Amino acid sequence: MCLMAGAAQAALDFTPTKSPGGPRDLDGVWYTRGYDRTYRQLDKSMPPFTERGQREWDEHIRQEKAGTPIADASTQCKPHGVPRIMASPYPIQIIAAPGEINIVHEVGHNQRIIYLDQPHPANPKRTYLGHSVGHWEGDTLVVDTTAYNTNTMVDEEGIGHSEQLHVVERIRKVEDGKRLEDLMTIEDPVYFTKPWQAVRLYDYRPDTDILEYVCEENNRNAPGADGKTTAK
């Protein structure tokens, strides 16, 4: 991962500002606090792994402790995947447009397009970030993402997934518009025995812009031919 020095600390040294506009106005720059590369259930426990999910996670941890983490898409400067991208310690910018909401990520210049008030296509192409549709339930934006490829992981630590991964996010303003909450329900019957939930919070950051991010020129952890990388 191409982690900019001080990025995580920059997210901490800030007092949240109230976002302008109403509850459904999510436009602007938001920044997750600190750097937590793992996803856990709401009670901080591990996900409910199937036998396969547990076996693969154990292997990822073993390889990481050995100093040779198993590479995934982001290690090769490819899109990080969802929900992993939502844990990145870089700002995001939300931009509403007619019929869609865009989430632009500074990290890797990943961009998610959420198509509003329409179903998924019958046979969507499988991609790194999946295919996302959304609708409003009161003041909460509900985002349904499916059609993933299998080149990514659920989190940076090594939680895997299959093509059956299905993520539903409930995104809303909290704390009088000072923060954004993303409550995620993660489902994949190949890797988890039941759906489980994780959450991320983001501060409203009008003082921050999305900057250029060139992973290809700064990649400290490029994988070798064996698909493994050396932790640096």
Encode pLDDT of 5-22 as tens digits. 345 445 566 788 899 999
Measured in degrees and rounded to the nearest 5, phi and psi for residue 118 equal -150, 155
Check residue 1 and give its pLDDT. 39
7-13+21-205: what fold? Lipocalin (2.40.128)
- Residue carrying the six token digits 């191409």: 2
Q: Is the pLDDT of residue 135 over 60?
A: yes
**Rounded distance between C-alpha atoms, residue 207 and residue 183, angstroms:** 25
Whole-prediction pTM? 0.88
Q: Tell the burial category of 67 from Cβ atoms under 10 Å away from its Cβ (0-12, 13-18, 19+).
A: exposed
146-167 burial, b for 16+ CB within 10 Å, e for fewer?
bbbbbbbbbbbbbbbbeeebbb
Average pLDDT in the chain:
89
Task: Return the amino acid letter for 57.
Answer: W
pLDDT tier at 215 (50, 70, 90 boundaries)? Answer: confident
CA distance to 53, 94, 141, per residue, from 111 (Å): 28, 10, 17
> What average pLDDT does the segment 123-140 reach?
97
> Residue 166's closest CA among 139, 194, 138, 201?
194
Task: Return the amino acid letter for 73.
Answer: A
